[in-house]
Amino acid sequence: MPRNLLRSRLLLTVFCSPFALAAALPHSASAAATETKKTAPAKHAAKSSAKHKAKVDAVAGGTEQLVITARRTRSEQGLSHVQIQRILPGINPVKALEMLPGVVFNNADPWGNNEQNSSLYVHGFNQNQLGYTLDGIPLGDQAYGNYNGLSPQRAVISENVGSASVSSGAGALGTASTSNLGGTLQFTTQDPLNKRGAQIEQVFGSWSTFRTFARLDTGEFGNGNSAYVSFVRQDARAWDFAGHQGGYQVNAKFVHNSEHDHFSTFFDWSQKVEPNEDSITLPQGYGIYVRPFTYPNFNYAKSYINSATYKNAGLNYRNYYSAAQREDFLAYSKWTHDFSENLHWDNSIYYHHDLGEGVVAGPISAAGLPTLFAAYYPGQDLNSVFGGSGYATRTTEYWDNRGGLMSTLRYHLGKHSIELGGWYERNNNTQARRWYPLNANNPTTPYERQQNALIDQYTNNFYTNTFVTHLQDNWQISKNFSLMAGFKSELVYTNGTLPVAAKPGSLSPSYAVTAPGGEIDSAKPFLPAFGAVWDITKHEQWFANIQENMRSFQDAGYGNATPWGATSQAAFEEFKKNGKPETSWTYEAGLREHRQIHLGPLTAIEGQVEYYHVHFSNRLLAVATTQTLSSIIGSATTLANVGSVTTDGMDFSFTTHFGPHFSLYNALSYNKSTYNDNYSTGSSIIHTAGKNVVGMPDWSEKFVFTTNWGNAYGQFTGDVIGKRYATYTNDMWAAPYAQFNLNAGYTFHNIPHLASLKVQGNITNLTNTKGWSTINATQTAGQFSAYPIAPRMFFLSLSASL
């Protein structure tokens, strides 16, 4: 272990409690968000909405909770709007959740916005094996190759996020997701304020950061009506190359409350361009920390590909540019009707349209590309074909239209709270691989959409119908003890077609083809769940949960971990006949604590200790049929069931309060996730049995030291990530690292014409730690790729409320 990291761990061990979780800032009477045991009438819902608005208004009072622990049969913890924006105004809410135990998030961008180099692990499951919702609306599985959703930061402006939470073991039965094997991330949008006003926020920072946010609230008008509209523009130069990241986003929300009805509608438009990092391939790239593209210096780019530097770079050569372009429209309407104090009906309808493009402009001489291009232009001068620059532009183009309905009846009968719900979604999505010229006299940029493709290599269309129903009963056996039992039924029907097939010889290996495909279903009619909550005393609560989940097959084509990536129709038909979707059984139990104490300076403590065990079956892996020399081409893969994974772990987290001005939150997590089986690639056996799951450290620790003095506050935070294996055979790994951050702010009142003026400063990566953030694990021993940790950066934000 590096000396500076060892020193950091020792300091944390001395300074922080080794047990830590779920907490509130000083003055908070309770850290727990109580799960409703009786369904409330509409008047209560309206009062709750008003209370929420009051909390949104009181952002400087020091009473907002840091970490909120829900009183449910499963582990669920979250962050409030205030804490999310303290971490960094405008932050991706997923990145904010990295302070929770069991959550490991990495990104080479301090905001956490760059989706290409993001990674997320929760209790050993990666980001595509989790569920994501916004106000209950499904956001898909967060695949970078978009096919069934959008990222939370594209779905809602960060400043409009009301709360973010993680169910780290298993999500609720009513969660609108078909990928939540390992839990659910839930995000809510703020309701409009009940008082007319406006907010303007400006963030300045390192690398020319310039973020402008504006929001206008109508206040209440008519009979229970209120609304807001907001806008954000962000522009920030990437820290290691001459690219500008950001874009535009608009949100609008309308809410109507009456005695028996609650109605809301929300709209989001997002247009973003994120020029991408290129990862470093190791061990060849040892000594290299960044791999910047050469844009916008086109003259240098043209000379570079003829230089010894390019020839000697191997897999770490420099592209001209790379970017993720995304435009999204998301809208939903929700209506809740209270028939009586005990019977309620919730309904939602939503629609999402995505138009996306991932683009890379790279050398046409990169390994394998001449063979690919020769299949379409045999015997021709490829340099002339692609515009004379020595570069070609590859795109993966996405088009997604999806919409759905959700309906849930909630009935309180005596000691029983019964819930019956259903969700239907229709998703039509297209993914296409195309190649364009990069003209020597008129080069394109990473900020524009490509036009007039030279090669339409392949196109996949998918049509998916999703039907999910659930039924559950919460039985309040006694005042202090309740049982929950229920199940969900998950039926997903996907038909994949291939309107454009790849030409023979254009794939790697040359004998591979893009398969025509067909329909494959993911169906589990009965996925049970059982849970219990016992209030041992008014200070301690025990909880337990057992649940089975299924992940449906991804709707994507060649090169992906999906049946439709098969390299022959026979292979597709074989998987259709014998393939099974991934499933998991999750067992979790724990103890929650909330107690006021009088022990010298220590005045209160809240926390949670949790043990979990997971058995993950039918793990699917896209097994490479050949080793490609360059990721620009991709490699043919076969989707294979490579056995099961066993996970055992514990999360400890507590917040200790020291009078009204200081608190310390600390979270320590242990996770042991191991593969149970070996698997084969042709005639070779890959020995993975007993090896650790890649990407997930055995140990991680987070802490937040907070001080509040009226209108002033400050926080010192830390994130320690242990050793992460980067190959399935565990022969290579990323070293542990520790990062620290600092934020402080002050809110001014009694300023003419302003309700308040808030000033906040942030320093990210305070000690300028270097290391690897996201790692791209490989099946091949002796090689992996990784992205760097962003350097120390400074930010200043000014927020005025009118």
> Do the beta carbons of residue 365 and residue 382 sit within 8 Å?
no
- Cα dist from 443 to 298, 385, 744, whole Å: 8, 14, 45
Letter string b/e over residues 37-69, b meaning 16 or more CB atoms within 10 A of that residue's CB: eebbbbeebbeebeebbebbbebbebbbbbbbb
Interacting residues of 513 by C-beta distance below 8 A, sequence separation 6+: 501, 502, 504, 507, 567, 568
Q: Return the H-helix or E-strand segment holding 55.
A: helix 42-57
Phi-psi region of 674 (alpha: psi -120 to 50; beta: other; left: phi over 0): beta
Nearest to 21 by CA among 79, 90, 88: 79
Token pair listed for 177: 């997701």
What's the number of CA atoms in the CB half-sphere (13 Å) around residue 343?
2
State the average pLDDT for the chain.
Answer: 90
Nearest to 22 by CA among 97, 78, 89, 105: 78
Cross-strand pairs, 705: 664, 716
- What pLDDT is recorded for position 462? 97
CA angle 213, 214, 215 (to 5 degrees): 130
Token pair listed for 438: 């990069």
Token pair listed for 310: 């390019």
- What pLDDT is recorded for position 368? 84
Residue boundaries of the structural domains of the chain? 3-744+767-801
Round to the nearest angstrom and report the end-to-end CA distance of the chain: 51
> Do the beta carbons of residue 244 and residue 238 sit within 8 Å?
yes
Token pair listed for 370: 């001449």
- What pLDDT is recorded for position 754? 94
pLDDT < 70 stretches in the chain: 1-65, 625-635
CA distance 251 to 268: 5
CA distance 198 to 209: 23
- What pLDDT is recorded for position 631? 57
Token pair listed for 100: 């929770």
Nearest to 193 by CA among 628, 769, 656, 801: 801
| Residue 586 one-letter amino acid | T
- Cα dist from 409 to 342, 417, 420, whole Å: 10, 11, 5
User: According to DSSP H, which parts of 375-466 are helical?
Assistant: 382-385
Q: Return the H-helix or E-strand segment holding 152.
A: helix 152-155
Nearest to 119 by CA among 136, 107, 131, 103: 107
Strand spans (E) along 127-224: 131-134, 137-138, 161-167, 184-189, 197-205, 209-217
- What pLDDT is recorded for position 508? 81
Hey, how many other C-beta atoms are within 10 angstroms of the C-beta on 568? 16
- What pLDDT is recorded for position 400? 97
DSSP state of 89: T
Nearest to 769 by CA among 795, 743, 724, 738: 738
CA distance 621 to 680: 11
CA 498 to chain centre: 30
**Bond prior to 296 in cis (omega within 30° of 0):** yes
What's the number of CA atoms in the CB half-sphere (13 Å) around residue 31?
34
> Do the beta carbons of residue 728 and residue 676 sit within 8 Å?
no
Q: Return the H-helix or E-strand segment holding 749.
A: none
Q: pLDDT digit string (tens) for 638-673?
A: 899 999 999 999 999 999 999 999 999 999 999 999
- What pLDDT is recorded for position 126? 96
**Dihedral angle over CA of 102, 106, 112, 117, nearest 10:** -140
- Sign for the pseudo-dihedral over CA of 383, 387, 389, 395: negative
CA distance 134 to 151: 10
Q: Return the H-helix or E-strand segment holding 576.
A: helix 569-578
Q: Return the H-helix or E-strand segment holding 775.
A: strand 772-776
Letter string b/e over residues 146-182, b meaning 16 or more CB atoms within 10 A of that residue's CB: bbbbbbbbbbbbbbbbbbbbbbbbbbbbbbbbbbbbb
Token pair listed for 71: 């009183």
> Do the beta carbons of residue 685 and residue 43 sit within 8 Å?
no
- What pLDDT is recorded for position 357? 96
- What pLDDT is recorded for position 637? 79
CA angle 383, 384, 385 (to 5 degrees): 90
CA angle 604, 607, 610 (to 5 degrees): 165
Assign 3-class secondary structure to 602-643.
Answer: EEEEEEEEEEEEEEEECCEEEEECCCCCCCCCCCCEEEEECC
Q: Return the H-helix or E-strand segment holding 768.
A: none
- Which pairs from 561-566 meet CB under 8 Å and 24+ separation? 561/620, 561/621, 561/622, 561/637, 561/639, 562/622, 562/639, 563/496, 563/517, 563/520, 563/639, 564/460, 564/462, 564/496, 564/515, 564/517, 565/622, 565/637, 565/639, 566/515, 566/517, 566/638, 566/639
Hey, how many other C-beta atoms are within 10 angstroms of the C-beta on 597? 12
- What pLDDT is recorded for position 671? 98
Hey, how many other C-beta atoms are within 10 angstroms of the C-beta on 299? 8
DSSP state of 238: -
Phi-psi region of 224 (alpha: psi -120 to 50; beta: other; left: phi over 0): left
Token pair listed for 321: 């540019």
CA distance 462 to 430: 6
Architecture of the domain defined by 3-744+767-801: Beta Barrel (2.40)
- Sign for the pseudo-dihedral over CA of 640, 583, 424, 228: negative
> Do the beta carbons of residue 427 and residue 393 sit within 8 Å?
no
- Sign for the pseudo-dihedral over CA of 654, 658, 660, 662: negative
